[in-house]
Amino acid sequence: MSTLRRVSSFLTVLSVFALTLTALAQQNQPQIGIAPVTLNAAPYTFDTAELHKIRVVIVARGLPHPFSLAFLPSGDALVTERGARLRIVRNATGAGGAQPALDPQPVAGIPATPGFRGGGLQEVALHPGFAGNRFVYFTYNKAGAVGANPNQRQSAVTLARGRFDGKALTGVEDLFTGDWSNGASGSRIAFGPNGHVFMTTGAPFGEQAQDSNTVYGKVLRLLDDGKVPADNPFAGKAGVRPEIYSLGHRDQLGLAIHGPSGAVIAAEHGPNGGDEVNVILPGRNYGWPKFTFGRSYEGPRMGDSPVAAGIEPPLVIWIPSIAPTGLTFYTGDRLAAWKGNLFVGSARRGEVPRTGGLERVVMNDKLEELRRETLLTELHQRIRDVRQGPDGLLYVLTDEDDGALLRIEPAP
């Protein structure tokens, strides 16, 4: 047995052990969380700061754990069900008075993945040249060999694309496949101003985030064909994966481009406290797991310090945790008082399920935080994604068994 294989076997055993410990720790947790809350069919009206009254309308429901939302120019919306199917909400914006409707037929062409935790479909996004090339990009956790633990499968984060014909993706191809790993987490993509694909990868095992020889716990930067751009910060450097754009990340379940500056902005889950939004800069280290504002679930603080020289500080911090999900900068006029604000979905607060909401962060023109507001907590839904529609309104996905697509409108 080679040294490498011995190390690899040892790491596999260690990983299974770590997963077992995690499972045991979870068993010792008290039963927490509030009962499921079913959304009303009628619109909700809420008072808010600055904009004041908003109306929240259910556009579609019956989406099991939707993860990502991408609007087609037509006003239809593509929605991924996490780990499963790609769906279409027809007339999601209701343009011209057309009634929105969830197409019962999923979009064909998404690779099938055996059911395993964290496996399957994650993100969906349109290529910037979609109007001409009809390319829809998506990420998924590809299934590999079954590991030592029969409930566990190796997986690899994968970027893929296909051409959308209105019903199906054709010519689907994997553009980039990450390392095989014993843990899977969510990935997001966003197209930068020069058409590069930025892609987040989680670090199911913390040490991966500082390991420059794996693509996990990173933000990657790829060409739109999945190849490595020649000007990537570590391109050509020995012992560093050339796809890496930034390192030291935990789970990053939100990614967006700030239009005015072109800045790449990612939302990252801290552990117990210490959730972050980061400005992703080339070659920088964001510190996980050595530097974090969070603490372990057993109580003690984690890491050496929340800050350190050479470690990028977060742009926005949440303590306690909000489990940040999709994010977007609002650029529309329909919700004018919110123009330029950052919106971040939240799946839960302080470890309590069904206490999610929508975070609004007001920033100055240097992207420094001025103030915040939490919206939609009264709905008691986990919120998984937030996007701006082609109609200039905001749309959110609720991450529930009976997940919904919601629209936020100004109310009279």
Judged by CB under 8 A, the stretch of 102-110, 170-178, 210-218, 371-379 that binds its own copies is 371-379
Judged by CB under 8 A, the stretch of 25-33, 108-116, 248-256, 394-402 that binds its own copies is 25-33
Are 302 and 322 in contact by the 8 Å Cβ rule? The answer is no
Which of residues 7, 50, 227, 336 is near its own copies by CB under 8 A?
50
Interface mask toward its own copies for 312-351; x: CB under 8 A: -x---xxxx----------------x-----------xxx
Q: Which residues of 5-39 are buried (b: 16+ CB within 10 A; e: fewer)?
A: eeeeeeebeebeeebeeeeeeeeeeeeeeeeeeeb
**Interface with its own copies includes 60 (CB under 8 A)?**
no
Beta bridge partners of 54: 46, 410
Interface mask toward its own copies for 192-231; x: CB under 8 A: ----------------------------------------
The three-state secondary structure class of 46 is strand
**CA 392 centroid distance within chain:** 22
The residue (of 176 and 318) whose beta carbon lies closer to its own copies is 318
How big is the site for its own copies, counted in residues (CB under 8 A)?
48
Question: Min. distance of Cβ 40 from its own copies in angstroms?
Answer: 15
The residue (of 14 and 34) whose beta carbon lies closer to its own copies is 34
* Tokens found for residue 384: 């998984």
Which of residues 80, 91, 181, 355 is near its own copies by CB under 8 A?
355
* Tokens found for residue 379: 């709905």
**Interface with its own copies includes 293 (CB under 8 A)?**
yes
Question: Min. distance of Cβ 336 from its own copies in angstroms?
Answer: 12
Q: What is the CA radius of gyration of the chain?
A: 21
* C-alpha closest to that of 351 among 305, 376, 318: 318
Which residues inside 27-46 make contact with its own copies, applying CB under 8 A? 30-35, 37
* Tokens found for residue 167: 């019903």
**Residue at 47: amino acid letter:** D
Question: Could you please report the per-residue DSSP string of 47-115?
Answer: --SSS--EEEEEEEEEESSEEEEEE-TTS-EEEEETTS-EEEEETTT-GGGPPPEE-SSPPBTPPP---
**Interface with its own copies includes 364 (CB under 8 A)?**
yes
Burial class (CB in 10 A: 0-12, 13-18, 19+), 177: middle
Which of residues 6, 14, 52, 283 is near its own copies by CB under 8 A?
52
Judged by CB under 8 A, the stretch of 163-171, 192-200, 298-306, 385-393 that binds its own copies is 298-306
Question: Min. distance of Cβ 407 from its own copies in angstroms?
Answer: 21
Are 180 and 215 in contact by the 8 Å Cβ rule? The answer is no
Question: Min. distance of Cβ 17 from its own copies in angstroms?
Answer: 23
Interface mask toward its own copies for 247-286; x: CB under 8 A: -------------------------xx-------------
**Interface with its own copies includes 103 (CB under 8 A)?**
no
- Distance in angstroms (rounded) separating the CA atoms of residues 250 and 328: 20
Judged by CB under 8 A, the stretch of 3-11, 180-188, 215-223, 360-368 that binds its own copies is 360-368
Q: How far is CA 125 from each of CA 130, 141, 255, 357, rounded to the nearest angstrom? A: 10, 16, 11, 23
The three-state secondary structure class of 377 is helix
Which residues inside 377-396 make contact with its own copies, applying CB under 8 A? 377-378, 380
- Distance in angstroms (rounded) separating the CA atoms of residues 186 and 124: 12
The residue (of 135 and 338) whose beta carbon lies closer to its own copies is 338
Binding residues for its own copies (CB under 8 A): 30-35, 37, 47-50, 52, 272-273, 293, 295, 297-301, 305-307, 313, 317-320, 337, 349-352, 355, 363-364, 366, 368-374, 377-378, 380
